[in-house]
Amino acid sequence: MSMFRRLGRLFGGEGAAQANERAAPSPPAAPQPKAFNYQDDRIPDSAQAKIAHILESIEAVEKAMEREQVPSFSRVDTGQMRDVHLPQLVQSYIDVPASHRGEIFRKTGKSASFLLGASLDRLQERVDTMLRDLAQHDINAFTNNTQFINERYSDDDNPFR
């Protein structure tokens, strides 16, 4: 420790605190998620359409969250859906060789593409619920504002009418 830092600590501590703040390393930037190719030929067309709709809906949720005070776990949840859960689900479908997908049918009574579609439907339902909850907040705010305006500026209480 330099003599100036020691003197700074001794006479008020501000110099040392500022020096420590400057010396503290900044946390590393979060890695950007790898872009996933949802147009892969191994993904059924019906699943590709569902995936596109899910991604559009997640984007709508994130835009709506920007306007609202939303708990951070909800933001994390949508990010994980987009960046982790959706790509992992699709990748796990792709990783099952087409020649072995019959084993999934024998075990579950449903095809792998059907199970993929059902899982995508569940993701879409969750995103739709989030959108509906955010919309309900907007609807409630609008309703409250219209009621206030009607009460505040109503002519019913005007004694000169």
**Both structure tokens of 91:** 């990748």
pLDDT at 83 over 90: yes
Query: Is residue 69 domain-resident?
Result: yes
Give yes or no for a contact between 105 and 112, defined as CB atoms under 8 angstroms apart. Answer: yes
Q: Is the pLDDT of residue 153 over 50?
A: yes
24 within a domain of the structure (yes/no): yes
Q: Are residues 12 and 74 located together in one domain of the fold?
A: no
Q: How far apart are CA 51 and CA 48, in angstroms?
A: 5
pTM (2 d.p.): 0.68
Task: Judge if 110 and 134 occupy the same domain.
Answer: yes
Q: Are residues 130 and 59 in the same domain?
A: yes
Q: Tokens at residue 77, please?
A: 């949840």
Q: Do residues 96 and 119 share a domain?
A: yes
Pair 112, 76 in one domain? yes
Q: What is the DSSP string of 4-71?
A: HHHHHHHTTSHHHHHHHHHHSPPPPPPPPPPPP-TT-TTS-HHHHHHHHHHHHHHHHHHHHHHHS---
Q: How would DSSP label each residue in 76-87?
A: HHHHHIIIIIHH
Contact 59, 81 (CB under 8 A): no
Q: 147: domain range?
A: 45-152
Q: Which of 7, 116, 113, 105 is nearest to 54 (CA)?
A: 116
Name which residue leads in pLDDT, 137 or 25: 137
Instruction: Give the range among 10-14, 72-76, 146-150 with minimum mean pLDDT.
Output: 10-14
Q: Is the predicted pLDDT of residue 16 greater than 50, yes or no?
A: no
The pLDDT, as a whole number, for residue 97 is 92
* pLDDT tens figures, 90-119: 999 999 998 898 999 999 999 999 999 999
Q: Quote the number of domains for the chain.
A: 2
pLDDT tens digits, one per residue of 28-68: 555 555 688 999 999 999 999 999 999 999 999 998 888 77
Q: Does residue 157 belong to any structural domain of this protein?
A: no
In Å, the largest CA–CA distance within the chain is 84
Specify whether 24 is located in the same domain as 49.
Answer: no
Looking at the predicted structure, is the pLDDT value of residue 150 above 50? Answer: yes
DSSP helix/strand/coil, 1: coil
Of 9-13, 19-23, 151-155, the least confident: 19-23
Between 65 and 5, the higher pLDDT residue: 65
